[in-house]
Amino acid sequence: MASLFESTTLAGMALRNRLMRSATWERMADEQGRLTPRLEQTLLTIAEGGAALIFPGYAFVTAQEQPNPGMLGIYDDACVPDLQRLTDGVHERGAAVGLQLAYGGSFTNYRPEGRLIWGPSAVPHPATEVVPQAMSRGDIASLVEAFALAAGRAKRAGFDCVQMHSSHGYLLSQFLSPYFNRRDDAYGGSLENRCRIHREILAAIRRVNGESYPVLIKINSADHMPGGLTAADSLEACRILDGLGIDGIEISGGLRSQDPDTYFVKPHILKPERQSYYRPYAEAVAEAVSAPVILVGGNRDARMLQEMLDTTSIAYFALSRTLISEPDLVNRWQDDPSHQPRCLSCNKCFDPEGHICVLDRKAAPGE
């Protein structure tokens, strides 16, 4: 019987257990997206805490496009040396490390004036009201190449894999979503067409990094909004990607929203029935594809995760807010699977000064 804490191999990566750190915006990089000592130490502490595969917060792939402040960048060769130091440090602590590649598009409130923001169509983003410029075929080709070059830098920096970010209303997920994608060319309409940019990015990364270098994807189980990507279409997109040889599929869902039932960072999930909230979608995908499936979203109880490992085809589990609060949670669970995380799922870790647990933050004046 499989164990949550057994060693496994994922696309050639040796992993010490089945628990990962999902890519999480730390808001700790500098204005150019370069690694800072604070961000480096945050990630090294998570590596010391037992996670098997660590993804830093998403990294932007072109210098002109930084969707959020404090994001890492992988848009230039100058980004590589600092990141090499980071990957060396993570490896020394026994973990693997990947880099999530992202283009934010219209899901941004960060200096949208005065910079070019691309989208599949000129549709206002429901969370930000930013209207992107509809991409030409040439724009799409340029972005595909930017992802490939970014993946090449990630490999040279020592990252064990890359992950395409196709969730939460960022650009790649917009191409999949009929709400955002109103195109009538080869990149719109049918699901096959809406997956075309993913197909081209995957092929371009393989061209640059070789067929054996692992490429994963994080994908919405559904947009959970009227007119958005449905669960059925997401499942079919995962089948398409699986047929193309994707090495792992992380299942998330939703967009930023005032509705806690559709927001992808759901609050108040301490009760067991509210945890692991994308489980049904991940179960369905895991039954339909051969690539390993990773479940993210509200994974808070090691015993529940072991039960899922025993009864479903889900292979790995990713954590986010719990590791912001308790970077050594994986080690704690290995010692005591009944340990309950101190994270309150209150979402107060999202702070302009850097995303840290509210229980660790010094009270500001007036707080």
Q: What is the pLDDT of residue 265?
A: 65
Alpha carbons 298 and 318: distance in angstroms, whole number? 9
Domains along the chain with CATH numbers? 19-335 (3.20.20.70)
Who contacts 257 (Cβ-Cβ below 8 Å, separation ≥6)? 126, 127, 225, 263
* Partners of 134 in beta bridges: 119
Report the Cα–Cα distance between both ends of the chain, in Å, rounded: 49
pTM: 0.94
Q: Are 54 and 43 in contact (CB under 8 A)?
A: yes
Q: What is the pLDDT of residue 367?
A: 33
Phi, psi (rounded to 5 degrees) for 322: -65, -30
Kindly give the confidence (pLDDT) of every residue in the chain, 367 residues in length, as a single tens digit, with 9 standing for 90 and above: 899 999 999 999 999 999 999 999 899 999 999 999 999 999 999 999 999 999 999 999 999 888 788 899 999 999 999 999 999 999 999 999 999 999 999 988 777 677 889 999 999 998 889 999 999 999 999 999 999 999 999 999 999 999 999 999 999 999 999 999 999 999 999 999 999 999 999 999 999 999 999 999 999 999 999 999 999 999 999 999 999 999 999 999 988 654 555 555 667 777 888 899 999 999 999 999 999 999 999 999 999 999 999 999 999 999 999 999 999 999 999 999 999 999 888 888 877 778 888 888 754 333 3
Who contacts 61 (Cβ-Cβ below 8 Å, separation ≥6)? 74, 75, 101, 102, 103, 143, 146, 147, 149, 150
Q: What is the pLDDT of residue 365?
A: 36
* Partners of 217 in beta bridges: 164, 249
Q: What is the pLDDT of residue 263?
A: 55
Q: What is the pLDDT of residue 288?
A: 98
The pair of structure tokens assigned to 52 is 């098997």
Residue among 85, 78, 53, 57 nearest 149 (CA): 78
Q: What is the pLDDT of residue 353?
A: 78
